[in-house]
Structure 1
């Protein structure tokens, strides 16, 4: 009789398991919530989307995201509103304040991305004016870059003013007849680069890699004075190029101590510029949502992410 009473529940359980239709890797029970902030460039959003997808579908976490300025994210480590910044570009001042002094955050390791910031012109300009990519020759071309916002000076087009930038100091300290104008967003920079290439209009712009746009539009980097360790120590006196950036992930100390497998996944995450550009391009050029782009990349790149998953 005991055997008979077990058959029904066991059979029912087996039938439910075999007929549920759940996808492999999908976790039914949520383990907790991870709060990821979204910063204002598509590469960041691409990286956050992949992490969120894996947290939800491989580990069973709920993920909350919110768009917010970079400096606000750092302040919110202290209040507990954010667990993860998925890509940090330098910000040594913020690291000193919140990691070293207040001890409310810490680095969760490198993302694998190699970051480059600099000044760029469309390729057609570099071909037409071969010496324009040397900063020492920019003043003789300043008239090409004049706009109604700069008067007799040339324009250096920047993005969001909260992005890492030394451009105002560079213009002043290198004696350049230019004015920095903030477009307000990455999207505005991308549109400016596309228009300048398509319409052959002059453009000198702040930009960065990794960035999917380089697969679609040809830009040439302007050679600024070579970077040397310490040349940017005083923000007001910067007269050198941007350093190479090894981008890292920043997490709250509380998340590092209590996040369990979620923290381990974030810590283990590492990919390449090409990986990030692939997801970002799917979002922009293929018009996929961030989640759909992440799902596509995850489906095609298990060999990359399988070792990120805690065992």
Structure 2
């Protein structure tokens, strides 16, 4: 175990300061620049609010620090503010982007020109509706649209009354659930757990008691290694079917998750940019680190270090040619 005060602990405190800087910038009409923003030896990575993202960011932070001798700031921001921070120059990279074509149009080459698509990170993102396998065994066909109509009362809770409950996570996540409920004419009400961690806790509690639960979920996700979950069968996504957010008669698309770079970082980021640009890994890789953090309770930095120690054959090819001191 690490001592209470380490380079990682220091980095976490610096990240808190960086968030304060980004908040000030995002609330200002003018872009503000500081020595922190301009430091070529510092890499600022968005830290969005789900543990899989954190797993990716922590592994990259570990390698940037230990292999290339950079300082790394993990800046805890929601998805859309992360794009704003890239645009205003106080952030360098988003490491796991779920679509957001509207934001790429706004900030990308056809808009402000401040961000670029950094290419795939190797993860395949799948959002959908899920329920425990024991429900399907008790109510065959409940994981279909017909089954959701027929058995809506199974999912009723004190909070939703006569409507079935649909358990969502963070209201800031990518979602089209209300539009799907409208289009499929389902008698369900969305209840937000508030965060990924809170949603997982609620699902695990109900699962342990074999209680009904219908919920928004996604891959990559470590919890699938622990619980037997079944995806609800919905009409497949087709181009344009989700254009009206109030009426979405289809399932979610499959996302090839990608990186988003600040243009200046891509141009002048040196070995740090090259490492993150080279980085791709699998859903299984991410789930391994995320499980250490969320399920085993490991410190995120220690989980990243353990994964790196166990998988040098995976990450060695991400390290660019040259020496660490070249970036200073």
Aligned partners of 2:43 and 2:92 also within 8 Å: yes
Aligned partners of 2:182 and 2:248 also within 8 Å: no
Equivalent in 206, 229, 242 of residue 252 of structure 2: 242
The answer for unaligned runs of 5 or more in structure 2 is: 1-38, 322-328
Equivalent in 45, 60, 64 of residue 54 of structure 2: 45
Aligned match of 2:135 = 125
Tell me the distance in 2 between the aligned counterparts of 1:187 and 1:90.
22
Aligned match of 1:96 = 105
**What TM-score do the two structures reach when normalised by structure 1?**
0.88
Aligned partners of 1:122 and 1:193 also within 8 Å: no
Tell me the distance in 2 between the aligned counterparts of 1:304 and 1:221.
31
Aligned match of 2:125 = 115
Tell me the distance in 2 between the aligned counterparts of 1:273 and 1:224.
23
Structure ID, larger Rg: 1
Matched, 1:164 2:174: yes
The answer for unaligned runs of 5 or more in structure 1 is: 1-29
Aligned match of 1:22 = none
Equivalent in 60, 75, 88 of residue 79 of structure 1: 88
1:4-43 equivalences in 2 (<5 Å): 32-43=41-52
Aligned partners of 2:181 and 2:188 also within 8 Å: yes
Matched, 1:288 2:283: no
1:219-230 equivalences in 2 (<5 Å): 219-230=229-240
- How big is the shift at 1:96? 1.3
- Cα RMSD after superposing both structures: 1.2
**What TM-score do the two structures reach when normalised by structure 2?**
0.84
- Runs in 1 of length 4+ with deviation above 3 angstroms? none
Tell me the distance in 1 between the aligned counterparts of 2:297 and 2:167.
26
Tell me the distance in 1 between the aligned counterparts of 2:166 and 2:298.
32
Tell me the distance in 2 between the aligned counterparts of 1:252 and 1:236.
32
Q: Deviations over 1:251-281 (max 9, x none)?
A: 1111111111111111110000100011011
Tell me the distance in 1 between the aligned counterparts of 2:246 and 2:104.
19
Tell me the distance in 1 between the aligned counterparts of 2:147 and 2:208.
25
Aligned partners of 1:157 and 1:180 also within 8 Å: yes
- How big is the shift at 1:224? 1.1
Tell me the distance in 2 between the aligned counterparts of 1:149 and 1:97.
38
Tell me the distance in 2 between the aligned counterparts of 1:44 and 1:247.
11
- How big is the shift at 1:310? 0.7
- How big is the shift at 1:141? 1.0
Secondary structure of the residue aligned to 2:68 is coil
Q: Deviations over 1:30-73 (max 9, x none)?
A: 96000011111000000000000000011111001121111111
